Amino acid sequence: MHFALTEEQQMIADTARAFATSELAPVAAELEGPNGRRLLLGHLKKLAELGFMGLNIDAQYGGTEAGVTAFSLAITELAKACASTAVTVSVSNMVAEVIQAVGSDAQKQHYLPKLCSGEFAAGGFCLTESNAGSDPAGMKTRAVKDGDHYVLSGSKIYITSAEYAGVFVVWAVTDSSAKKGKGISCFLVDANTPGLTIGKAEEKMGQKASATNEVHFNECRIPASQMLGTENDGFRIAVAELAGGRIGIGSLALGIGQAAMDYAARYIAEREQFNQPLINFQGLQWMMADRATELEAARLLLMQAAWLKENQQPFAKAASMAKLFASEKANDACYTALQLLGGAGYIKEYPLERMARDVRITTIYEGTSEIQRIVIARELLKELAQG
């Protein structure tokens, strides 16, 4: 497979890198403080103006039409400086792609320009519930038909960008008598819809600048025209979009891991012990070599998954493999980098402390590593059965 980037893909990567270096990196630590939300929203508006909120969205809706590979490259570059910004961009792109994939013409014309332009600071992806995380088909949120409306009741948890999302893609059970996973539908719900309320921001271990909240639906009435796709076909939509989202999160993890090892390499090249730079010691060189090899393998898995999706090929297994490997190895990279800094790595003055916290969630959200292994094994068994 030919992995050379096109001129447009390289331009997207270079632009993301330049933005991360000039805008994100200088205030990455400050983003976790009291001014973090204001800074984040300002960055999101600038990224929208640069075309990063609709990277795989058609130009007629204000998108960039750069494709999945460019999306992966952009998320990696942004994550090198700020994982909170990168995850917001990733999820918002995923919301836009759901609308483009299954939305009506009217839905696409109304919502996609608002997401791509930054009129909506972000989009929300409302799937997870307190008893329906790794098993989203077990959701309890209901949507009951009432004339030409649906009435939504229930709650979603761990929703990225909930506080400033302009629109939410929401999954709810529309046929409780159907087989599990078969009676679920998908809806577009505007943030200002009566009955929709946002819970308090979660106090998280990492990625603190990115808001994560519960979203509650208390007899929330929405027009039937707000349904995405067809009734009771929502779970299939969720599964398809989660596969694409895994490319984003794998790319994010890769960026954090690369940034951690780059920082550690520069640090040990300057710090001396036993009258010589630490980087001269073979034991440390081998640690760097192992992590560099793993991160390069992760990059190639992500490129393969992105290429398959971009070319309308089956990509679910490739996306799960890429997300599993990239997130696990990025965690290893951050902890190795912290170890290379020694005591300094544990101090907030240095960025490794934040990177180690930010990377930890990547093996959990968009499907845990354990769920990725289930998906991969299932696909392998299908291939075996097909001969």
As a whole number, mean pLDDT of residues 184-196 equals 97
Q: Are 327 and 171 in contact (CB under 8 A)?
A: no
CATH of 7-120, one of 3.40.1440.60, 2.40.50.220, 3.40.50.2000, 1.10.540.10: 1.10.540.10
Strand partners, 123: 167
Q: What is the pLDDT of residue 238?
A: 87
Residue 296 binned pLDDT confidence (cut-offs 50, 70, 90): very high
What is the C-alpha separation between 206 and 16, in angstroms, rounded? 22
Pairing between β-strand 227-228 and β-strand 212-223 as defined by DSSP bridges: unpaired
Structure tokens at 282: 């073979």
Q: What is the pLDDT of residue 205?
A: 96
Structure tokens at 356: 């180690």
pTM for the model stands at 0.96
Q: What is the pLDDT of residue 1?
A: 56
Nearest to 72 by CA among 207, 246, 209, 238: 246
Residues 6+ apart with CB under 8 A from 119: 113, 166
Q: Which of 294, 310, 328, 366 is catalytic?
A: 366
Res. 384: pLDDT tops 80? yes
Q: What is the pLDDT of residue 2?
A: 67
Residue 239 binned pLDDT confidence (cut-offs 50, 70, 90): confident
What is the C-alpha separation between 297 and 352, in angstroms, rounded? 22
Q: Assign domain 236-385 to its CATH superfamily.
A: Butyryl-CoA Dehydrogenase, subunit A, domain 3 (1.20.140.10)
* Architecture of the structural domain at 124-232: Beta Barrel (2.40)
- Cα dihedral angle (134, 258, 18, 204), rounded to 10 degrees? 40
Residue with tokens 């302009």: 166
Residue 214 binned pLDDT confidence (cut-offs 50, 70, 90): very high
As a whole number, mean pLDDT of residues 53-67 equals 97
Query: Which backbone phi and psi does 245 adopt, to 5 degrees?
Result: -60, -30
Q: Are 149 and 175 in contact (CB under 8 A)?
A: no
Res. 148: pLDDT tops 60? yes
Helix (H/G/I), strand (E/B), else coil: 11: helix
As a whole number, mean pLDDT of residues 141-150 equals 96
Res. 101: pLDDT tops 60? yes
Residue with tokens 């909930």: 162
What is the C-alpha separation between 358 and 377, in angstroms, rounded? 28
Q: What is the pLDDT of residue 295?
A: 98
| CA 131 distance to own-chain centroid | 22
Q: Which residue has the higher pLDDT, 3 or 56?
A: 56
7 counts as catalytic: no
| DSSP string over 102-115 | H--HHHHHHHHHHH
As a whole number, mean pLDDT of residues 100-113 equals 97
Mean pLDDT is lowest, of 1-15, 69-83, 208-222, for 1-15
Residues 6+ apart with CB under 8 A from 1: 304, 307
Res. 3: pLDDT tops 90? no
Helix (H/G/I), strand (E/B), else coil: 385: helix
What is the C-alpha separation between 141 and 143, in angstroms, rounded? 7
> 251-292 pLDDT, tens per residue?
999 999 999 999 999 999 999 889 999 999 999 999 999 999
Helix (H/G/I), strand (E/B), else coil: 132: strand
> 65-78 pLDDT, tens per residue?
999 999 999 999 99
| CA 322 distance to own-chain centroid | 13
Give me the residue spans of the domains in the chain: 7-120, 124-232, 236-385
As a whole number, mean pLDDT of residues 30-58 equals 95
As a whole number, mean pLDDT of residues 85-107 equals 97
**DSSP code for 10:** H
> 34-43 pLDDT, tens per residue?
889 999 999 9
Q: Is 247 exposed, middle or buried (0-12, 13-18, 19+ CB in 10 A)?
A: buried
